Structure 1
Amino acid sequence: MLSRRHFTAALALATGLSVSGLALPALAQTDIKLTLDWRFEGPAAGFLLAQDNGYFADEGLNVTIDVGNGSVEAIPRVATGAYQLGFGDINSLIKFLDEDPSQPVKAVMMVYDKPVFSVVGRRSLGITEDPKSLEGKKLGAPPPDGAFAQWPAFKEVAGIDDSAITLESIGFPVREPMLASGDVDGVFGFAFSVILNLKANGVPEDDIVPLLFADHGLNLYGNAIMVNEAFAEENPEAVKGFLRALAKGFADAVADPGAGAAAVLARNEILDINTETERLEMANEMNIKTPYVVENGFGGIDEARLAASIETLKISMGLQGNVTAADIFDAQFLPPAEERMLP
């Protein structure tokens, strides 16, 4: 039989009250819908491990993770409130807010400190490590792709004459098969996705030439976590808890890429564990665990660098100058830097 004290404690636990001044955890969880930029593949492991390892639940969050259809499309999903949080291209967000600064969406955590935007071509089709080798070629361009969104900026800083370049609008499902068959000479995309998908389509590794925009003068940021501002205003602790959990998930994905890939395959069984482990390792090395992140922690930004990237986009993407770095990125929800260090 329960003692009177134990009965009171049990009743308090069930009703969310406190015993002897000790606050007990609330039973209700905050529901959050998150949209990714793309399918469940290796680089999504940080999100999935945060869920599988209970980090979201520990923060009182019930998180639903949905796939996306390109790093640009995540932005309106969050701005409209269809999703409370999303993962998408911060440069496209800058363009989006420059066109309408009243849109209620901001970036709150940087994931790809170095953007993964690239044109990937084939050496046998005349593409080399020199961006000027793209001149006169046919390039496949999925319209919602974040890399393609940065083509105006890249061709300017790389000094590419695009007068003889043919841009062919293609869908994501046929992107790598078209390059593998030689129907196009190169394609826009995220390097870690295109390279491994080409290998899966039978293209020899030494025939694959990735031209990363960041390696050829385009010093931009990449994909970030974005939040609906109305949701953040009403639920600031939930946003803080989400980012705290996510930092742990990405740390786990860096520490054990194999476990991260296994979490991906639990949602997408048709994938290959070795391919997704390699894809995650590439993303960790190229885009996530950069020298800046090693020194300063995962998730933050250098405001001066973000401001400089906005100036670059003013020239190359025709921004009107309606936004500043402070309008784009809000760091107030980030955990302390010591809680965001990657192993």
Structure 2
Amino acid sequence: MLRQVKFFLNSFFSGPQAPFFLADDNGHFERNGLEVHFTEGESLAYSVPVLAAGSYDVAYGDMNTLIEMKSVDPDSSPLAVWAMHNRSPYTIAIDADGLVATPADLKGRKLVSHPEDAAWKLFPEFCAATGLDISTVSVEASDLGHDEMVPLMREGRWEGIFGFVNTVRAHTIEAGLDPDRVLRHLEFRHYLPELYGGAVMVTRDFAQKNPEAVRGLLAAINLGLKDAIADPDAAIAAVARRNPRIDVKANRARLLGTLALEMADPEGGRIGIGDADDARILAGANLITKAKGLSRVPKPSEVFDRQFLPPFGERVTSLAERP
């Protein structure tokens, strides 16, 4: 009998989640004794408190939000067990023809963000790292899609958009625009290199009661990632089976962009996709607690538990850019 696993995602079914779906379609979960049920979410940041609330076993969430949670409540439930992004995926997308070129140019500007966007939640850290006075920037919360935001930004309504680099790029394609022509990016990875991005997380209770299920889950995801790298078209087909409304071209670009950018830190060649560096987690925790005025820096072991990872020799190292 297969163990039922409830998995809360970061957004609607989309290209960067393809390794999860391909792991399912190719039987990797089933061979590890699991039947995984996916639920669409709202953002990487939002997934963390949802998992902490206890209705799900697993979530795809933001490591930085988890660090903040552990600073305030060290006994909170979620644990990161598989780091998908070894580079921060976050950005402030700007008009390629606009007046903003550096973080300092954001002074006095108006930006826009989805209400739960993880990039916006990390804006205090971005400002602390760049010397920007956060009080000089206004941010409007909007439920519009990035495909609507980008044209409106170019018309002058805003001068920057919070989001994922590859999410904004994909939605710009959906808007009928060339992201390489109309957008530039203030990428958080350049200013906040210590920060990670998305990670697979489990509840402490699920990990304690079902350690072999967690190992099986990560083994399957690892194989799903390998499958997605080998055949991106099959990966996007797995997404489209769950969300037939997706723009296949844009989501294929989004998947390939994620593999080439957000999962390509040289660290991946040293420790493999899935693992995280304790010194880097601690550096990120120090930055986050200072920027947000929190009193306690959580230990890396409170945030990330690597005991469930596949062996190093089985992890993906081929995505890493060479220094």
Does residue 1:210 correspond to 2:174, yes or no? Answer: no
User: Amino acid of the residue matched to residue 275 of structure 1?
Assistant: A
How many angstroms does 1:310 deviate by?
Answer: 0.8
1:157 touches 1:218 (CA, 8 Å); kept in 2?
Answer: no
TM-score by length of 2: 0.93
Q: Distance in 2 between matches of 1:216 and 1:67?
A: 30
**Aligned partner of 2:165: which letter?**
A
1:152-191 mapped onto 2 (5 Å cutoff): 152-171=124-143, 173-182=144-153, 183-191=157-165
The answer to whether the 8 Å contact 1:35/1:74 transfers is yes
Q: Which residue of 1 aligns with 2:235?
A: 260
- What residue number does 1:11 align with? none
Whole-angstrom distance in 1 between the partners of 2:212 and 2:282: 28
Q: How far off its partner does 1:249 sit?
A: 0.5
Corresponding residue for residue 237 of structure 1: 212
Pairing 1:195–2:184 present: no
Q: Which residue of 2 aligns with 1:330?
A: 305
Q: Residue in 2 aligned with 1:131? A: 103
**d(CA) in 2 for partners of 1:272, 1:176:** 12
Moved more, 290-299 or 244-253: 290-299
Deviations 1:195-243 (A, max 9, x none): 2212322444312012111112442011111101111111110011000
Q: Name the CA distance, whole Å, in 2 between partners of 1:295 and 1:162.
A: 36
**Residues 1:273 and 2:248 are matched in the alignment:** yes
One-letter amino acid of the counterpart of residue 245, structure 1? A
Aligned to 1:140: 112
Aligned match of 1:101? 74
Matched residues in 2 for 1:331 and 1:222: separation?
A: 16
Shift of 1:47: 0.5
Q: Which residue number corresponds to residue 289 of structure 1?
A: 264
User: For the residues of structure 1 that align with 2:191 and 2:231, how far apart are their CA atoms?
Assistant: 31
Structure 2 counterpart of 1:10: none
Deviation digits for residues 35-92 of structure 1 (CA, Å, limit 9, x no counterpart)? 1111111101010011010000000001001111011111122222211000010100
Amino acid in the other structure paired with 1:279: R
Distance between the aligned counterparts of 2:77 and 2:192, measured in 1? 31
Asked if 2 retains the 8 angstrom alpha-carbon contact of 1:98 and 1:319, the reply is yes
Distance apart, 1:322 and its partner CA: 5.0
Q: Structure 1: give runs of 5+ residues left out of the alignment.
A: 1-27
The range that moved more, 46-55 or 178-187, is 178-187
State the partner residue of 2:321.
none
Letter of the aligned partner of 2:34 in structure 1? L
What letter is aligned with 1:80?
Answer: A
Q: Distance in 2 between matches of 1:161 and 1:78?
A: 33
Please say if 1:37 is aligned against 2:19: no
Q: For 1:149, give the aligned amino acid.
A: K
TM-score by length of 1: 0.88
Distance 1:314 1:235 in 2: 32
Aligned to 1:8: none
Deviation readout 1:155-209 (Å, 9 max, x if unpaired): 11112233432111112x3444133123211111111001221232244431201
Deviates more, 1:30-39 or 1:76-85: 76-85
- Cα distance in structure 2, aligned partners of 1:56 and 1:199: 33
- Quote how far apart the aligned CAs of 1:143 are: 2.3
CA RMSD of aligned residues (A): 1.5
* Structure 1 residues 4-23: aligned runs within 5 Å: none
Larger RCO (CA within 8 A; separation ≥ 6): 2
Q: Runs of 5+ in structure 2 lacking a partner?
A: 319-323
Deviation at 1:245, TM superposition (A): 0.5
Larger deviation, residues 81-90 vs 266-275: 266-275
Question: 2 CA distance for matches of 1:95 and 1:162?
Answer: 19
1:27-106 aligned at under 5 Å gives the runs 28-106=1-79
Q: Contact 1:46–1:253 at 8 Å: present in 2 too?
A: yes
How far apart, in 1, do the equivalents of 2:74 and 2:135 lie?
33
Report the residue type matching 2:168 in the other structure.
V
Tell me the distance in 2 between the aligned counterparts of 1:305 and 1:162.
Answer: 25
